[in-house]
A and B are shown apart, each in its own frame.
Chain A
Amino acid sequence: MAHKSSPVAGNGLLDRRFFLKAGAASSAALLSAAAYSSERPAWMRVPGAPMSESGAPSEHEAHLRRTAIGSQQGTTGAGASRTPLELLDGIITPSRLHFERHHSGIPAIDPDEHRLIIHGLVDRPLSFSLESLSRYQTVSRIQFLECSGNSGASIAPEPVQGSCSQIHGLVSASEWGGVPLSVLLQETGIKTKGKWIVAAGADAAMMSRSVPMDKVLDDAMVALYQNGERLRPANGYPMRLFLPGWEGNMSVKWLRTIKVVDQPAMTKDETSKYSDLQEDGVARLFTFPMGVKSVITSPSPGLQMSEAGIYQISGIAWTGVGKIRRVEVSADGGKSWADAALDEHVMSKCLTRFRSAWRWDGTSAVILSRATDEAGNVQPTRDAVLHGRSSSGFYHYNGIQAWRIGTDREVTNVYA
């Protein structure tokens, strides 16, 4: 059996169990050595701060913010902000850093006045208050949410130079808690002709999407909680639709009405926006699940390398159809690949954290990751994703991401 520090693939990629076996000693090598003093530092010479009613990140983490915040011209609330993926580890996105995509800003909803109304092709149109929904048995799922426009910058003819979050930060993962929509529809009853729902929000745009009934009855949730607390306003307070694995736009925030219908309503977002134009001029509607995908978050642009040596290559992988089965990493531009280690928490329709060990020799290198899901779908190359697409088709981009590490220790976006 090869020694754990022997390369398993080209250009210094080491066994995925390297860190497990080598332990803290080699992990410490990732950190720049801090000057060590034998004197008590200032914070150990006086009592610390008292308790407080609500915590906040360390003042030294003030740089940990959402990025690439932009709104359509003439508006302040019709745009997006992105999760700083390269500054996070694990799989849970802190709620304050969950990506945002709003169509007319964040509404200031009074939770006591808000109602969810289910009507249309039902036996009993019913209205639910937040208080009443809170009495239903809630379910909890740790799952990702991804905007279908995520990574859309990667269709550009030349690689866009930005951070991992600027390019890929429209994906986040949370523990979502709420009431299965199927439970509420059981209460209203569904008429035989009811095959879709139209969900609309209480934002100023009354953003609306049609969702097929089989998805609704499978795993749709009226989410009330995000990472243990009530939803943040930017994520739909006091209630949102959550559709695991499907394009984020459908998980309608500030959920206000659900109309059961016999066919899709062909709303503005599902026809003119979130449809996939092909190069032949034909557009695909209702391309719901997010494809199998991964991205290396560290190293990545903006995280400068230090000297040659052992590094952890770490990233996230996800798929809209179930669990991630495998992530492979290459350190030689895709010529050779080795399996990355997956963190213990591999859950359906959730982010999965992967890690590889790499001995960087200080020369220029291109690193990539490639995910495979439990249905056998393999993350495609950029060329494969773009094949047959319109030059304007940026939704559902899940191509393999390559980062180039230069001899100047800078990391840049490249097409490999």
Chain B
Amino acid sequence: MFTRSVVCIVVVAWFLLTAESSVADDNPNLGEVVSLADLSSLDLTIMPNGEGLPDGSGTAAAGATVYQENCLACHGAGGKDGLNDTLVGGHGSLSSDRPQKTVGSYWPYATTLFDYVRRAMPYQAPGSLSDDDVYAVTAYILYLNEIVGEDDRLDSNTLPDVRMPNRENFVWGYAPD
């Protein structure tokens, strides 16, 4: 999340860099400079450390309402038995014959849930939820999975600190050069 002072620093840095560095002569160099102010609404990427999280907050108590209105039809009551992905349960099932990969049992980062809901959900009207609603419904799904409390307030400071139960059970199949 860019604060105004960070934006100023970055803009100043950019002018210094453009003055110093050059680009290849055989490149038509047709890229147009982008205003940093536009980027937070264009690119909704949230990093695991919380970088990119917007202002706002929400609790599971508020999220229950958001869920009923926007998520229930596809994901079922309580995040189970819906038409689409099961969001809740499956804890301890991953090494069984019937692994159940849900947000609670499988997903390694809570920031991913916020990122995905904000960019892609609800399926029929992505982008229609306020940031407060996204925090709230994120909290509700985590609450149903017994990862946060009903009144725990999630915001840009607290969400990255949520420890997902399956976090340690991932290894990388890719080693950078």
Contacts and interface: CB of A to CB of B under 8 A. Distances in A.
Interface of A: 72-75, 78, 103-104, 117-119, 123-129, 132-133, 135-136, 183-184, 186-189, 195, 198, 200, 204-208, 212-214, 256-257, 259, 261, 263, 265-268, 271-272, 275-277, 279-288, 390-392
Contact of A119 (B43, B46, B73, B177): B43
B177 A124 contact: no
A259 to B, nearest CB: 5
A58 B86 CA distance: 45
Given A265-B115, A281-B169, A284-B171, A74 B74 contact: yes
Contact of B34 (A119, A132, A266): A119
Contact of A259 (B45, B98, B101, B107): B45
A212 B169 contact: no
Contacts of B98: 391
A406 to B, nearest CB: 33
A391 to B, nearest CB: 6
14 contacts: A119-B36, A119-B39, A124-B14, A125-B34, A127-B31, A128-B31, A135-B30, A206-B120, A214-B177, A261-B47, A268-B112, A284-B172, A391-B99, A392-B101
A413 B56 CA distance: 54
B6 interface: no
A123 B36 contact: no
Interface string B53-86: 0000000000000000000011000000001100
B5 interface: no
Contact of B28 (A135, A212, A256, A281): A135
B130 interface: no
B9 interface: no
B56 to A, nearest CB: 19
B33 interface: yes
Interface in B103-150: 103, 106-109, 111-112, 115-116, 119-120, 123, 126
Given A118-B31, A188-B31, 4 more contacts: A208-B115, A263-B47, A272-B103, A272-B112
Interface residues of B, number: 54
Interface in B15-38: 17-18, 21, 23-24, 27-34, 36
B111 A104 contact: no
Contact of A123 (B21, B107, B171): B21
A354 B29 CA distance: 43
Contacts of A263: 47-48
Contacts of A257: 42-43, 45
Nearest to B35: A125
B27 A285 contact: no
Contact of B170 (A129, A132, A184, A282): A282
A38 B2 CA distance: 81
Contacts of B116: 267-268
B3 interface: no
Contacts of A188: 31
Contacts of B99: 277, 281, 390-392
Contact of A283 (B34, B74, B169): B169
Nearest to A282: B169
B48 A284 contact: no
B31 A187 contact: yes
A263 to B, nearest CB: 7
Contacts of A265: 45-48, 115
Nearest to A137: B26
B33 A126 contact: yes
